[in-house]
Chain A
């Protein structure tokens, strides 16, 4: 294998958790993983498994219970807090609620490890701040108050803040959690861009498996007993994602990275057609509880084509025509 990027972070049998009183509550068993510069890494795992604790531990906000963390091949325990702040930026799910704080001021706080005793913004700090705001396309929001921003805008400003902090590694705990669909894709696109163009390593936790699979360079799949590490496609081929679902009702389709529910199949239906229409018709038939069959037998559905405006359901007994998928599914549902 060719080494074309530098290793920025490595975990060596790291065990994380917290102390309550004198008892250790180990959340995760010894984990080993690596991150190279410029990689977008998604941390995936079920709720409460310790994704946030892992990120907090990596950010140096929490003591590991055992094992080592190395930044640029140097042990975390050898970093002072100020030195660490120049290596790692962190965004939690905590929302900053400060009235009278302007976007510029919030992003300027990212310069904390770089400014003098009173926090004076020198010209190069100002440049870093403006640069961060431009990269996150928030440049025109400079003088706005943070309390006036939408959730998506605020998250982008938070990202600008750690960009201004100028760290090689960025840790983000569920950066898309409370965003709407558009906001989610915008923020993810931004993260993608930063990891590619600015060579930032971004490690983020998420529950959105499909988005993680389609966008990240690498996935850390956190399970109760181990951590799977690899490109999403590698994990997919290994069938690693199946471990996420203990319940027997959800099936992860390794073929296309989607989910479906395990239902008693109500029978086989073949779909004749092409492209989009075929894809969505099949999807609807699945949802109605039928299995899409591979061979053309009765019953089968013909999707609309140039010569025909209807979905045609052909059975042994005859043929029915429907003008929408909805009508056809309603009919199938009643049967």
Chain B
């Protein structure tokens, strides 16, 4: 039991020693995974070669592989994991729904619709193989807009539908509907546009140009900063709209801020890497299991570390260490995420409505 004395005070959630230990371990794990992700690939390179390639300038083919491919890919994986997980955490809190996530609720689809409009609709100047810097920004902004539009749509629907599973089904419907619109766009577009779009949909963690990676890093960093700034807002929103207002939160502002943040995070990832499933929904639950708290002062940093780690693991698995084949990243994230989602659904039958 905590008492009101000053000596016991630091036992409060955020500064507790056990949390420091968890954070420290997560950081170590993240660094190890980042290193492993650089070491493993379809070409086997010895550890000493990897280190030489990173720290010296040899112009060897190994160096090209490490510096031009593996390092950017690992960085992308890290960024994507952080962005999707954070957007999932925010959506679960703002919708008060454990099943919320950028992929299942159709936010990623919305983002891809934005991209489809740019590539298939107005892309006379954009070439699929070499999208210029301006084109990249247009792509990313269209993606944010698409994600944001679906967020608002889901918010309107969720104010009418309180049931968690119904919202999930509506999310799936929205994704299918968007898929249909994209198909129609494809039908009316010409061959070059179509090729550019198909290449995009196959997008993985490894296909980003240097310019695209820069844009991704800038956008996601902005999103992470916004997330940290919205910590207190998210905590208040746990209580639901009415209570949040009664303790002094401007709910309209809070929603606007978190919607923008989520759209930027999920939209940026989808713009360059395509829709990646189940990371956004699964990681926040893993973090909740570990920290056993609902306090976003712990959940946000926890989700950042765990999101990066899970995505790096997915990337390492997708490279099938020891073989020359590479699995599609989406297959790996689904296999990791779906069991978590099913566990949450089963657990929620007991405490219906809670997360």
Residues of A within 8 A of B (CB): 56, 59-61, 81-82, 84-86, 88-90, 92, 94, 96-102, 104-105, 109-110, 112-113, 115, 117-121, 123, 126-127, 130-131, 134, 139-140, 142-143, 147, 165
Contacts and interface: CB of A to CB of B under 8 A. Distances in A.
Interface string B237-273: 0111011011111100000000000000000000000
Given A56-B242, A117-B229, 4 more contacts: A94-B240, A96-B239, A96-B240, A105-B294
Given A90-B246, A118-B231, A127-B4, A105 B240 contact: no
Contact of B294 (A60, A101, A119): A101
B235 A119 contact: yes
Contact of B242 (A81, A94, A123, A130): A94
Nearest to B287: A100
B231 A97 contact: no
Contacts of A86: 248
A130 B3 CA distance: 7
Nearest to A115: B232
Contacts of B250: 81
B43 interface: no
B14 interface: yes
Given A96-B240, A131-B4, A113 B248 contact: yes
A163 B9 CA distance: 19
Nearest to B355: A99
Contacts of A97: 351, 353-354
Interface string B295-318: 101000000000000000000000
B14 A94 contact: no
Given A105-B295, A109-B238, A139 B232 contact: no
B349 interface: no
Contact of A165 (B13, B240, B247): B247
A61 B236 contact: no
A61 B3 CA distance: 34
A269 B3 CA distance: 62
B236 A112 contact: yes
Given A97-B351, A99-B351, A142-B1, A61 B246 contact: yes
B247 A113 contact: yes
Contact of B9 (A61, A84, A126): A126
Contacts of A123: 6, 9
B12 interface: yes
A119 B237 CA distance: 13
Contacts of A126: 2, 4, 9, 12
Interface string B1-19: 1111010010011100000
Contacts of A84: 248
A165 B249 CA distance: 13
Contacts, number: 113
Contact of A110 (B242, B247, B249, B288): B247
6 contacts: A96-B238, A102-B293, A109-B238, A112-B249, A115-B232, A123-B9
Q: Report, nearest first, the 7 A-B pairs whose CB atoms are least far apart.
A: A85-B248, A97-B354, A101-B294, A90-B246, A119-B232, A112-B247, A130-B4
Interface string B318-355: 00000000000000000000000000000000010111
B68 interface: no
A97 B351 CA distance: 8
B248 A109 contact: no
A96 B12 contact: no
Contacts of B236: 109, 112
Interface residues of B, number: 38
Contact of B248 (A92, A101, A112, A121): A112
Interface in B194-250: 228-229, 231-232, 235-236, 238-240, 242-243, 245-250
B355 A105 contact: no
Contacts of A104: 2, 12-13
A335 B247 CA distance: 62
Contacts of A92: 242-243
B52 interface: no
A82 B236 CA distance: 13
Contacts of A102: 293-294
Contact of A142 (B2, B235, B243, B294): B2
B235 A85 contact: no
A117 B239 contact: no
B13 A88 contact: no
A101 B351 CA distance: 13
Nearest to A89: B246
A84 B4 CA distance: 27
A100 B247 contact: no
B243 A98 contact: no
Contacts of B96: 98
B2 A130 contact: yes
Contact of B249 (A59, A81, A101, A142): A81
Nearest to B232: A119
Nearest to A96: B239
The residue in B2, B231, B351, B355 that gathers the most chain A C-beta atoms within 10 A of its C-beta is B2
A140 B1 contact: yes
A175 B79 CA distance: 47
Contacts of A85: 246-248
Nearest to B234: A119
A46 to B, nearest CB: 23
Nearest to B228: A118
Contacts of A110: 247
A165 to B, nearest CB: 6
Contact of B293 (A105, A112, A113, A117): A105
A61 B240 CA distance: 13
Nearest to B4: A130
A136 to B, nearest CB: 14
Contacts of B292: 100
Interface in B117-140: none
A167 B274 CA distance: 50
